[in-house]
Chain A
């Protein structure tokens, strides 16, 4: 029992460390990739090819004065960044990075836990993350921050629906909400093939849900200063930043597990396959960001409600009928 607890704590520490490092280096990758796509260099100055840039950025943010504006709602203002980050990191608790394997005669699970409603848990947490954004906008006592956070909440509510509906198709095929069972169900055929419609819907709504690329309305640096985190500085700002990138990783991991067969793949070990697929999705994020212009707000809403949700529903209907007939 005690040994089990200690092992779990060690696993949690490893996962958190790896996730935070990945998040830090994602910022570097983003600047580098988008730089090269715009025929520039991106960061080159700190370390070899700018590789120490994230660490320098982190140090800079730590050194900066952490100022709280005078008229803000203090407790809410301070809780908001935590409420953004904690759900994003908690989601990694149920993500299966690789299959169980046996080492020194002991069975090791390379994931923290495998609960039978893993997918539901992650969807619930990603909704909680929105509270952080809304609270930060409200507590900042600034028109622009409030507008940004309201946009964000509207966006997340709209796209969460499409996202949930698109995930039901694969769940029906797998017959389970546990992420591990979903992965095992794709041993032969990845769900991207029978569920290509759901995959596209999921991709669009996932990008919208993480407030990025063509759907980064809440940040709209041109019209809303910087959206919800305009009044934040120093480490609180960094927490929002970390939350955004951690959420990207969560969303990419779900896409990998539910549509691309998680750790299933030939030749290479499972964990390597998982990482490769996740990194492909992360690259897709940057790629889209370098390609597409931002949507107008009404376009965003009409896309979510008039296109994605009906398409996801139709896909769900067809999938259900087929599954019913086959069984």
Chain B
């Protein structure tokens, strides 16, 4: 019960009628719903989704095994193992990301000195097992191919 309402508003429910006018106006607006499984929701330019690994012209991953992303990762979900090659260069024996642990912060992308690991724009990784979330270099390179294809459109 408002104290300072004037008598006209009180008797004729003007405020309620105003509110009803608003709802009636809204009824004829076009709904803003995305019908999700049938329509893709828009993904913004800077969205950080599942990672991808850039490759050079020969199709080899650009990663040089410097361990910086593993070091900077706050949830410690990147695991790298390297070996010495025949000519003294580093070979990457294992490069794994545990996507179920990853918090998608993008630090790995920022720390990478050779422009190799990147955050992609896909988000549809749901697996039935924890093991399924451990993705390796092959997966990341495939994601890069997908990314290029999407960009080409």
Contacts and interface: CB of A to CB of B under 8 A. Distances in A.
Given A37-B26, A37-B27, A291 B1 contact: no
A40 B33 CA distance: 6
Contacts, number: 39
Contacts of B31: 35-36, 39-41
Interface of A: 33, 35-41, 44, 200, 287-288, 290-292, 299, 302
26 contacts: A35-B31, A36-B26, A36-B27, A36-B29, A36-B31, A37-B23, A37-B24, A37-B26, A38-B26, A39-B26, A39-B30, A39-B31, A39-B32, A40-B33, A41-B31, A41-B33, A44-B35, A200-B13, A287-B20, A287-B23, A287-B24, A288-B20, A291-B20, A291-B22, A291-B23, A299-B1
A283 to B, nearest CB: 10
Nearest to A290: B23
Nearest to A45: B35
A44 B35 CA distance: 10
Interface string B10-32: 00010010011011101111111
Interface in B95-141: none
A36 B28 CA distance: 7
Interface residues of B, number: 17
Nearest to A42: B31
Interface of B: 1, 13, 16, 19-20, 22-24, 26-33, 35
A200 B16 CA distance: 13
A198 to B, nearest CB: 15
A200 B27 CA distance: 24
Contacts of A44: 35
A36 B30 CA distance: 8
A275 B88 CA distance: 89
A287 B24 CA distance: 8
Contacts of B24: 37, 287
B35 to A, nearest CB: 7
Contacts of A37: 23-24, 26-27
A299 B31 CA distance: 35
Contacts of B33: 40-41
A40 B19 CA distance: 18
Contact of A39 (B1, B19, B29, B35): B29
Given A39-B32, A40-B33, A302-B1, A291 B16 contact: yes
A250 B13 CA distance: 25
Contacts of B28: 36
A288 to B, nearest CB: 7
B27 A33 contact: yes
Given A37-B24, A39-B31, A40-B31, 20 more contacts: A36-B26, A36-B29, A36-B31, A37-B23, A37-B26, A38-B26, A39-B30, A39-B32, A40-B32, A41-B31, A41-B33, A41-B35, A200-B13, A290-B23, A291-B19, A291-B20, A291-B22, A292-B19, A299-B1, A302-B1
Contacts of A41: 31, 33, 35
Contacts of B35: 41, 44
A267 B23 CA distance: 31
The 7 nearest A-B residue pairs measured at CB: A291-B19, A291-B23, A41-B33, A37-B23, A41-B31, A36-B27, A290-B23
B62 to A, nearest CB: 45
A69 B142 CA distance: 55
A259 B33 CA distance: 40
Most A Cβ at <10 Å: residue of B13, B23, B28: B23
B150 to A, nearest CB: 28
Nearest to A289: B23
B21 to A, nearest CB: 9
Most B Cβ at <10 Å: residue of A33, A36, A40, A292: A36
Contacts of A36: 26-29, 31
A49 to B, nearest CB: 12
A35 to B, nearest CB: 8
